[in-house]
Amino acid sequence: MGKLDGKVALVTGAAIGLGEATARLFAAEGAKVVVSDWDVERGPTVADDISSGGGTATFVKADVSKTEDVRAMVQATVDTYGGLHVLFNNAGIVGDTASTTECTEENWDAVVDINLKGTFLGMKYGIPAMLKSGGGSIINNASTSGLVGFPELPAYSAAKGGIVILTKTAALEFAKQGIRVNVICAGTIMTPMVQQFMDSKEGMQQFLESKVPMGRFGTAEEFAQFALFLASDDSAWCTGAEHIMDGGILSI
Ligand SMILES: NC(=O)c1ccc[n+]([C@@H]2O[C@H](COP(=O)([O-])OP(=O)(O)OC[C@H]3O[C@@H](n4cnc5c(N)ncnc54)[C@H](O)[C@@H]3O)[C@@H](O)[C@H]2O)c1
C-alpha cells in the first residue's frame, strides 16, 4: 500500500530537479500526479515515463507566475483526476548573482514573480479545489536562504523568506478546514539549478560544500522523501511550520 493511495497530487516545476524527483516518488506511492512545468520539452517526458512505469501521471503546461496559467493548471487537475489533495509549489529560479545595489529591477521582478507570486497563485487557486476535495496538504518550497541572508541573492532570499511567512498565514487561515500548509527550507542539493549557480562563480562549489557540517550536498531523492512525509498522513499534526533539511548548515 502506498502512502498516497487515492490522492491527487499537483507538482509545479516538475520537469527536472527536486520537482521531478518528488513527482516520481508521489506516483510510486500511489498518487495520481499532475506534472506541471513551463518546459514543454522535458515535462511531458517525465509524465510519460511515470505512466510507462505503471504510475498515473499527466503533463500540464503552466508558467506559475501567470494567473491564467495557474487557474487553468488547477482546473485541468480537477478535470483529469477528479480533485486535488496534495499541492507542491516547487517551481523557482535563482536569478542573477548580484548585490542589493547591483540587482536589476528586471531580475527582482522575475525572481519574486516566479518564486513568491507563483506560490501565492498556487494556493489562491489550489486551496478552493482542495476544500472541495475534503482537504489536503500543501508543501511550499522555500530555502535556507529564506531564513538567513544570502549575499548577492537579494531577490531570491526575499522571495523565499516571503514564502515562509505566506505559508504560516495560509496554514492559520485553513487549519480548521482540513488543509495543512508547510514549507521546506532546504540547503544545497545538486540539481541543474544549483549546477548553473555553481558554474556562475569560481570557487562557489567549494565554498558551499565547506559550509555543510555533514560534508556533502543533499540529493533530490532525500528531498523527495521529506516532501512525501509532509504530503502524507505521517505528518498529520504538522502545519504552518518551516522544515529545515540542510546537512546541519543552520546549526553553525
Ligand atoms: N536545489 C537546491 O539546492 C535548492 C535548495 C533550496 C530550495 N530549492 C528550491 O527548489 C525548487 C526547485 O529547484 P531545483 O534545484 O530543482 O531547480 P531546477 O532548475 O533544477 O528545476 C526548476 C524547475 O522549475 C521550472 N520552472 C522555473 N520557472 C518556472 C515557471 N515560471 N513556471 C513553471 N515552471 C518553472 C523549471 O523549468 C524547472 O523544471 C526551487 O523553488 C528552488 O528555489 C532548491
Asked about 81 being catalytic, the answer comes back as: no
Per the structure, the complete domain to which residue 216 belongs is given by 8-244
Q: What is residue 201's predicted lDDT score, i.e. its pLDDT?
A: 80
What's the mean pLDDT when you consider all of the chain? 97
- Residue among 167, 166, 142 nearest 156 (CA): 142
Choosing from 156, 197, 217, 223, which is the catalytic residue? 156
Q: Total structural domains in the chain?
A: 1
CATH number, residue 220: 3.40.50.720
Rounded percentage of the chain residues whose pLDDT exceeds 90: 91
User: Which residue's entry shows cell 540547503?
Assistant: 187
Asked if 217 and 247 count as a contact pair (C-beta separation under 8 A), the reply is yes
Question: Has residue 2 been placed in a domain?
Answer: no
Name the residue with the closest Cα to ligand 1, atom 24: 13
Question: Has residue 113 been placed in a domain?
Answer: yes
Q: What is the pTM of this model?
A: 0.98
Whether 198 is in the pocket of ligand 1, judged by its Cβ within 6 Å, is no
Name the residue with the closest Cα to ligand 1, atom 37: 39
Question: Has residue 104 been placed in a domain?
Answer: yes
Best mutation site among 88, 93, 125 for ligand 1, i.e. most ligand atoms within 8 A of its Cβ?
Answer: 93
Residues 79-96: what's their mean pLDDT?
Answer: 98
Question: Has residue 130 been placed in a domain?
Answer: yes
Whether 154 is in the pocket of ligand 1, judged by its Cβ within 6 Å, is no
Question: Has residue 159 been placed in a domain?
Answer: yes
Give start and end residues of each alpha helix (H) in 35-185. Answer: 42-52, 67-81, 105-112, 118-132, 154-174
Asked if 138 and 87 count as a contact pair (C-beta separation under 8 A), the reply is yes
Give the separation between CA 82 and CA 213, rounded to whole angstroms. Answer: 45
